[in-house]
Every structure is written in structure tokens, then in C-alpha cells.
């Protein structure tokens, strides 16, 4: 029963993803005339099928989430037609369960050397996340910058949960309009490996219930990979801290990455140093 449910959920995700990607491609993007009386945004199903060199009925069944087998070659053709980037292409393969996409193993414990590396990164804030954005390890500078997060107990010790459940005035991330869509897209890339797992399903369902902002971004079906990004944080004791986040994949456990924040300017560097010397300074200067 569990396998059937997981397969159905994965096929439903595949159908929604393909529809969302098809709707963003205009006829002009692929060299087709706009035509008259176009009722749906983007390309029609028959246009995708024609451009990819597959049967219209077969592609329709694929987009409807029916149980049909898709080869790597056919998925490649569809990916090219829909102009998928690398993250989206991998997402498509996983949803279609093609064997060439490696499956992740079970998550285990972090090696003790990881904490040693984090501690030696001070005064640069550093931490370890898994693909669900659970905070697994951190150093003193990270704890000084995000004290409310590190003091939370699991499962609330999660970056996504803190970002989307706190009031806007209490959010640590200032450039949320740029960052939050990327974070949710990165979370969805991890989610595809865990479709059908109760912990993941409940996490997404719970966060969607308490945050309409997250629910809207999740429904957009964007996918992305972790990468280097510019972030602006707010701390009540020092003001704004501008930093570049660098994401480094760890060899184990699976789907874990170390994230290091490098200050962008001398002012941010001085503010991080002050926070490191005053770890008890509250991140938010008011109460609700």
C-alpha cells in the first residue's frame, strides 16, 4: 500500500511539474507562431509532443501522471523542449524514476571532524544543513548571529520554519523577496528524493498550513540547487550584516552541506566580531 501511495504521489508531482514548465514557454520561445484563440498559457500538449518527437497521447498520459515508462532519451527530448536547467532536469528524472539518477541513502550522524572544521572557521559563521534545512551543527559565530534558531528544539530547529513562521519584523533575512523563493526551490529539489516519507510530507503540509507565503511558493514548483548567494541579515544589536553564503556538499551523511557566511564589507566584519564577543545579545529587540 505504501509503495502504491508513494508512486501515485510522485506521478502527481511529475504531472504538476510538467504542466508548470509547459505553461511558462511561449510559442515564440520555440519558433512557433502565436496563433489565435489560445486558451491556455504557454505551449499546448500537442506542441510539446511534436517538438520533442513523441506521441501526443503518450505525452498527455505522462502529464496526467499515468503509470507509463519513460526512457532517458525521451526525457532528454522533453527537457530540451521545455528548456529545463540542470536542477529542473534532475528533478524531472527523479520524478519519472529513471534508474540513471542515483538514489540517496539513509541519513546518518555527522563525523566529529565536521564540528572541528566549523569551530576553526570562527569568526566566520558556519553551519551544516540537511536538504530539509534542519540545522544539524553550527559554530559560535553562527549561534551569535542566529541565537533564536540554535536555541530551538528539534523539529523547530529548522531554517525554513523560522523564516516563514516569524513576523516580518522579526525575520533575520532582509532580502527575503530574493532569498525565500530560492530557498523553497532548493527545498523542493530535496523533497523529490523523499516523496512518500511521513516526516517530509508532514513538514511540507504543516508549513503550508501556517504560512500562506510558503504555500504559494511551494505551489509554483520551482527547483534549484544550493549555491553561492548574497544575503543580508538583521540583528537588533548591530544592525545589518551583509555576507556571501557558500554551500559545500559533505561526503556524508547524504544530502548534507556546510554553509559558510563571509562578510562582504569591513562594517559587516566588525559587526560579526562584536556579536562573537557578545553572544548573549538578543537578535530581536522587541516582544510580541
Question: Higher confidence at residue 104 or residue 217?
Answer: 217
- DSSP assignment of 242-264 equals EEEEEEEE-SSSTTEEEEEEEES
Task: Give the pTM.
Answer: 0.78
How many whole angstroms from its chain centre is CA 39? 32
Cell of 42: 504557454
Triad 228, 77, 83: Cα angle to 5°? 40
Q: In the prediction, which pLDDT does 30 show?
A: 86
Taken in order of first residue, the domains within the chain and their CATH numbers are 2-96 (1.10.260.40), 112-277 (3.30.450.180)
CA–CA separation, 160 and 207 (whole Å): 8
To the nearest whole percent, how much of the chain has pLDDT over 70? 93
Write the CA distances from 271 to 157, 170, 266, 276, integer angstroms. Answer: 24, 19, 9, 9
List helix spans (H) across 132-175: 140-145, 147-150, 159-165
pLDDT per position as a tens digit, 89-132: 989 988 988 765 544 444 468 999 999 999 999 999 999 999 99
Cell of 175: 532580502
Shortest CA distance to 140 belongs to which of 152, 159, 125, 162?
A: 125
Q: At what angle do helices 86-96 and 176-191 cross, to 10 degrees?
A: 30
pLDDT per position as a tens digit, 31-83: 888 766 667 778 999 999 999 999 999 999 999 888 888 888 889 999 999 99
Locus of grid cell 523529490:
192
Amino acid at each position: 500500500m505504501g509503495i502504491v501511495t508513494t508512486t501515485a504521489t510522485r506521478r502527481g508531482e511529475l504531472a504538476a511539474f510538467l504542466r508548470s514548465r509547459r505553461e511558462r514557454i511561449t510559442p515564440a520561445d520555440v519558433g512557433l507562431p502565436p496563433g489565435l484563440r489560445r486558451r491556455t498559457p504557454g505551449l499546448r500538449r500537442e506542441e510539446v509532443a511534436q517538438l520533442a518527437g513523441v506521441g501526443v497521447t503518450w505525452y498527455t498520459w505522462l502529464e496526467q501522471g499515468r503509470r507509463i515508462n519513460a526512457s532517458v532519451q525521451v526525457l532528454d527530448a522533453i527537457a530540451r523542449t521545455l528548456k529545463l536547467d540542470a536542477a529542473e532536469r534532475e528533478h524531472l528524472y527523479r520524478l519519472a524514476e529513471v534508474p540513471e539518477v542515483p538514489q540517496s541513502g539513509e541519513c546518518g550522524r555527522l563525523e566529529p571532524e565536521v564540528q572541528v572544521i566549523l569551530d576553526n572557521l570562527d569568526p566566520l559563521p558556519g553551519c551544516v544543513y540537511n536538504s530539509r534545512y534542519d540545522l544539524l551543527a553550527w559554530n559560535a559565530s553562527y549561534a551569535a548571529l542566529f541565537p533564536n534558531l540554535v536555541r530551538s528544539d528539534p523539529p523547530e530547529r529548522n531554517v525554513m520554519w523560522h523564516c516563514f513562521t516569524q513576523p516580518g519584523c522579526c525575520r533575520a533575512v532582509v532580502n527575503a523577496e530574493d532569498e525565500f523563493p530560492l530557498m523553497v526551490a532548493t527545498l523542493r529539489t530535496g523533497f523529490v528524493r523523499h516523496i512518500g516519507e511521513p516526516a517530509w510530507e508532514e513538514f511540507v503540509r504543516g508549513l503550508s498550513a501556517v504560512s500562506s507565503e510558503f504555500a504559494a511558493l511551494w505551489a509554483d514548483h520551482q527547483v534549484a540547487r544550493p549555491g553561492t548567494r548574497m544575503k543580508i541579515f538583521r540583528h537588533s544589536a548591530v544592525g545589518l550584516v551583509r555576507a556571501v553564503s557558500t554551500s559545500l556538499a559533505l561526503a556524508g551523511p547524504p544530502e548534507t552541506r556546510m554553509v559558510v557566511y563571509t562578510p562582504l564589507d569591513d562594517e559587516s566584519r566588525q559587526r560579526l566580531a562584536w556579536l562573537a564577543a557578545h553572544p548573549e545579545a538578543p537578535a530581536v529587540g522587541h516582544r510580541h
